Amino acid sequence: MANDDPIALLKKGIAAWNKWRKENPDICPDLSGADLRRAHLYGANLSGADLSGADLSEAGLSGANLSGADLSEADLSEAPLVSADLTGADLTGCRIYGVSAWNLKLAGANQQNLVITRADEPAITVDNIEVAQFIYLLLRNQKVRDVIDTITSKVVLILGRFTDERKAVLDALREELRKRNYLPILFDFAPSKARDITETISLLARMARFVVADITDAKSIPQELAVIVPDLPSVPVQPLLLEGSGEYGMFEHFKRYPWVLETYRYPSSERLIADLGERVIDPAEKWHSVKGAAASSTG
């Protein structure tokens, strides 16, 4: 069977195909330009195959071994690729509109110029198959854009050390922000099993309209601000400090960043809530307005 037509071999079924591949490990099947539309290729061993220019649209490729395969310029539109192995594959110029790209193995894969639109639409390309679905939804789905706009315009990340004695400050702060139509997020500083704490803080900060950082009795705050402040000039940080407490030693370093606002020293939680609009929210929103105006004048 070593010299058989690979298309004919595929038509014999995946079991026969995989058996032939196992018996002939040195042969790299030439499937370039092949019409494989709607083919059932679940679990097929297509490693090292030349699939350049092939039409794999709507083909079942879940669990397929495509490691090292040449898929350049192939049409994978609407193909299920769940758990497929694309290690070292060449996906350059693939059309990937509508693919199901979950749990892929992509180490060493070339993902340049992936086309996320249909053939009858203007071409939009990305360089990562796993983010392609999100980018397409972002471009085409108003609801997704609305959700993102809501998050980035309403989320307020609250950082600080709120012990049992100071929990009233936290509760009052969150409740007042909710009344003002913001979405307060407090990060629980218990170590995360899934990811590094600083990575989580950075992710949450990137979604925020602004950050409220209570530096009273600072413990983890220095590390958190070190992750947020230098790299996120679009997110103003409003520091808070209980009167009678001193700023921690390294905080002076962050004052040189324009988006770190003047520290508001509050005498009590009641005074903090009373002054929340004027001393916490307004400075952050004013910073956004000034920044937006500056961007418009230079745009």
According to DSSP, residue 26 is labeled T
Rounded to two decimals, the pTM is: 0.55
Q: Which residues contact 42 (CB under 8 A, 6 or more apart)?
A: 14, 60, 61, 62, 63, 64
* Full pLDDT tens readout for the chain, 299 residues: 444 688 888 888 899 899 998 998 888 889 999 899 888 888 899 999 999 999 878 888 899 999 999 999 999 999 999 999 999 999 999 999 988 888 999 999 999 889 988 888 878 888 888 888 777 777 776 666 676 666 667 888 888 777 777 777 778 888 888 888 888 887 655 444 445 667 778 888 888 899 999 888 777 788 888 888 998 998 999 999 989 888 887 888 898 999 999 999 999 888 888 898 899 999 999 998 887 556 444 44
- Of the candidate CATH numbers 3.20.20.70, 3.40.50.450, 1.10.10.10, 3.30.930.10, the domain formed by 147-298 belongs to 3.40.50.450
| Portions of the chain given CATH number 2.160.20.80 | 1-140
Structure tokens at 290: 């000034």
Q: For residue 11, with 0-12 CB atoms within 10 Å meaning exposed, 13-18 middle and 19 or more buried, which class applies?
A: exposed
Q: Where are the alpha helices (DSSP H) in 141-233?
A: 142-154, 167-179, 197-206, 221-228
Residue 293 confidence (pLDDT) = 54
Residue 299 confidence (pLDDT) = 44
Output Rg (C-alpha) for the chain, integer angstroms.
Answer: 27
CATH topology of domain 1-140: Pectate Lyase C-like (2.160.20)
Q: Which residue has the tokens 């309209």?
A: 209
The residue among 229, 223, 289, 217 whose CA lies nearest residue 258 is: 229
d(Cα 166, Cα 171) in Å, to the nearest integer?
9
User: Residue type at 59?
Assistant: A
